[in-house]
Amino acid sequence: MKLGRRVEEFAITAIDRDGLPYGPFEGGKLYVDKSLPGDIADVQAIRVSKGDFPVSTGRIVRLLQASPDRIDPFCPHFEHCGGCQWQHTSYAHQLEIKHGQVSELFARHLPDGMTVPPVLPSPQQLRYRNKIVFTFSNRRWMTPEEKTSPDTIRRPAAGFLMRGKYDHTLEIHECALIDPIAVRILHRLRDIALEAGMKFYDMREEYGFLRGLALRFGDPGHLLAAIITAEQDDEKLNVLTEGLTRDFPEITGYFQLFNPDKSGVNMDAPARHLRGETQLPMSLGGFQFLVSPNAFFQTNTEQTLRLYQTALDFAALKGSERVLDLYCGTGTISLFLARQAAFVTGVEFVDAAVNDARTNANRNGITNVDFIAGDLKDEISRFTESSTEVIDVVVTDPPRAGHHREVNQALLKLAPKRIVYISCNPITQERDTHMLSDRYRLTRIQPVDMFPHTGHVENVVLLERRD
């Protein structure tokens, strides 16, 4: 396969575990962006690989026969934006695909006669995100036609990073996954910055002031804005915040995230408070949480309640159990667990998140919970060595990378009766399930759709100790 080669009448036949459509080609696979199984198209190779099992990527240049599952996408940026890669098929079909992914991944762990239940659908398929991160770049992404046109205006851009192109930003005019005010704020910040002569960041050359904008929506009437910069310049920050404050009274708090690293927009950068609210109030399931601008909180608020209810159901708490909540973040799951357990200990490696968790417990009058900032494997080992603090149930919700091997080893030594494993990446979740399988068996499983129109699916499994 050569770069730019055109493959005619190519049939897309399947979707892989990552939600990427492909077809067999010359002893390997050819992935085709924005396609569906059942499509037949002329395809041009845009990335190629070699070897005994070559894997290449192409784009549709002419659709000859559309899949029966194909529909018209609702977003004008669909062809180029990598955000919602499945909006060209119905929501019902998206759920079928995600169900198939989880079923295939966990087939070897399912007891005889057990099947994966249908994916829990999101109540909202549009405007469901409570958080969005935009990028600014002095390199606007352009189509091949724009690049060759003498009329093309080469200007800075505000929008989303292009998938696979770390140094270019796709200029956007709308996004159906977030409140419409978000894009209006983005455009106004862009205009204020350009009018003041500020430079957008250049990832290649590593210069420029403005890198990004993170918006986080809380309870009605609460919105935090975090301006992401590559330089420290209070005068410029004041120009930006003054302009937004004047035009958008809806923004109730401002922060700066200082990120000079070349690696990209880093939401873990320290948040510096500029004006207004210091934390965002978020209500969920009868609790009121306060969330810092860069602390973790599930992005789909309404569906989060169904996710946590599933985890609570799997935990099957009777009121006498001691629970260990790993990767507890700001304590959201911990407080739900504390309603039904004797005591809950939340463990998190981010100090700021633990501070938020303690604040949230106090705010909600929850006293049978404690939060620890530290290395997870070390804290698990501490409970293993304790003769007085026996852990009955572990709830874990790790990042996409899943458990570190040493965390799995520590869990095997701790040997709780039940492990409830929540994951935003079923691939690493299945890996960890296999690593624990000598001591634990999977008895329940439930996929949950937290991100409609994307290839991502959340999954909850219950692992019970083999006694």
- How big is the chain, counted in residues? 467
Smallest Cα–Cα separation from 128: which of 163, 89, 84, 63? 84
Closest CA relative to residue 400, chosen from 432, 367, 425, 382: 425
Token pair for residue 362? 């106090």
Contact in structure between 271 and 255 (CB atoms under 8 Å): yes
Residue with tokens 């004006």: 275
Q: Is 36 helix (H, G, I), strand (E, B) or coil?
A: coil
- Find out whether 257 and 269 touch, Cβ atoms under 8 Å: yes
Give the relative orientation of helices 405-414 and 376-385 as an angle to the nearest 10 degrees. 20
**Residue carrying structure tokens 């049978």:** 368
DSSP structure string for 232-250: --HHHHHHHHHHHHHH-TT
The CA distance from 98 to 18, in Å, is 10
Q: Is 358 exposed, middle or buried (CB count within 10 Å of its CB: 0-12, 13-18, 19+)?
A: middle
Residue 66 phi/psi, 5-degree rounding, is: -85, 140
Secondary structure class of 405 (helix, strand, coil): helix
CA neighbor of 198 nearest in space, from 244, 235, 165: 235
Task: Reply yes or no on whether 84 is catalytic.
Answer: no
Q: Among the options 75, 175, 328, 424, which is catalytic? A: 424
Nearest to 344 by CA among 365, 308, 378, 319: 319
**Which positions are annotated as active-site residues?**
424
